[in-house]
Amino acid sequence: MTDLVAVWDVALSDGVHKIEFEHGTTSGKRVVYVDGKEEIRKEWMFKLVGKETFCVGAAKTKATINIDAVSGFAYEYTLEINGKSLKKYMENRSKTTNTWVLHLDGEDFRVVLEKDTMDVWCNGQKMETAGEFVDDGTETHFSVGDHDCYIKAVSSGKRKEGIIHTLIVDNREIPEILE
């Protein structure tokens, strides 16, 4: 990887993916790696600007690297996810998902709730869940190993805040992380 010009970390429901881009400005080479695996390789491209589009993660999320000339032989590389800049995508994602990281039985687990579908992901796997209505809201139950887990959804009572989601593992509340 001698022509490595850009590296991005992209947090999706199935995990955090590393995207690397090589751009040989003398050879016209373009190589895209996702999590260390080569996704695109183009040699001898005479047009040094343009874009490369590929998929990331289990949900095959669309990603595009834009290559723009800044001045002379300097280039700017920007990553778009689902047609939005990485920054905009991550800002929007923080509104549509909740993420928790927990340590169980000597292992780290990353649990993600997709609020629009109520899908629950754990370490890259979509979990089998069971929903249940309770007095003050809903509970979405699932298991991680031998541990009983559920995400409790309760109204905040404030319109701006909306619904508050809390992860409970073995009757213990897990703090949410902001990605």
Q: Where are the domains of the chain?
A: 4-88, 94-174
Fold match, 4-88 / 94-174: yes
Distances (CA, A) of 51 to 1, 24, 176: 20, 14, 36
pLDDT for 73: 76
The residues that bridge with 149 in the sheet, in sequence order, are 142, 169
- Tens digit of each residue's pLDDT, the chain (179 residues): 578 999 999 999 999 999 999 998 888 899 999 999 999 999 987 777 899 999 999 889 999 999 998 887 788 999 999 999 999 999 888 889 999 999 999 999 999 999 989 999 999 899 999 999 999 899 999 999 899 999 999 988 887 778 899 999 999 999 988 76
pLDDT for 26: 82
7: number of CA atoms within 13 Å, CB side?
Answer: 7
Per-state percent for the chain, helix, strand, coil, to nearest 5: 5, 65, 30
> Are residues 165 and 140 in contact, defined by beta-carbon separation less than 8 angstroms?
no
CATH number (2.40.128.180, 3.20.20.80, 2.40.50.1020, 1.10.3720.10) of 94-174 reads: 2.40.128.180
If you ran DSSP here, which 8-state letter would residue 121 be given? E
pLDDT for 28: 83
- Residues 8 and 88: their CA atoms lie apart, in Å, by 14
pLDDT for 179: 66
- Residues 3 and 58: their CA atoms lie apart, in Å, by 28
pLDDT for 33: 97
pLDDT for 130: 94
Q: What is the 3-state secondary structure (H, E, C) of 141-175?
A: EEEECCEEEEEEEEECCCCCCCEEEEEEECCEEEC
CATH number (2.60.40.10, 2.60.120.10, 2.40.128.180, 3.40.50.970) of 4-88 reads: 2.40.128.180
pLDDT for 174: 92
pLDDT for 161: 75
pLDDT for 95: 87
pLDDT, one tens digit per residue, over 11-31 is 999 999 999 999 988 888 999
- Residues 162 and 154: their CA atoms lie apart, in Å, by 9
